[in-house]
Amino acid sequence: MDSEALTRALVKFRDERDWAQFHTLRNLIVSLNLEAAELLELTQWKGDAEIAAMLEDERRMEALRDECADVLLYLLLIAEKGRFDLLRAAAAKLEKNALKYPVEKCFGSSRKYTELG
pLDDT at 110: 93
What secondary structure does DSSP assign to 65-97, as a single string? HHHHHHHHHHHHHHHHHHT--HHHHHHHHHHHH
pLDDT at 69: 98
pLDDT at 23: 98
Model confidence pTM above 0.85: yes
Report pLDDT digits (tens) over 49-87.
999 999 999 999 999 999 999 999 999 999 999 999 999
What secondary structure does DSSP assign to 33-73, as a single string? HHHHHHHHHTTTT--HHHHHHGGG-HHHHHHHHHHHHHHHH
Mean per-residue pLDDT over the chain, rounded? 96
Alpha-carbon span 73 to 75, nearest angstrom: 5
Confidence of residue 116 (pLDDT cuts 50, 70, 90): confident
Alpha-carbon span 23 to 44, nearest angstrom: 29
pLDDT at 100: 94
58-82 and 3-16 helices cross at what angle (nearest 10)? 80
pLDDT at 117: 78
Q: What angle do CA 27, 31, 34 make, to 5 degrees?
A: 145
Confidence of residue 91 (pLDDT cuts 50, 70, 90): very high
Q: Is the pLDDT assigned to residue 18 strictly greater than 90?
A: yes
Q: What angle do CA 55, 59, 63 make, to 5 degrees?
A: 80
Q: Is the pLDDT assigned to residue 30 strictly greater than 90?
A: yes
Beta carbons within 10 angstroms of residue 35's beta carbon: 20
Domains, the chain, ranges and CATH?
Answer: 3-84 (1.10.287.1080), 87-117 (no CATH)
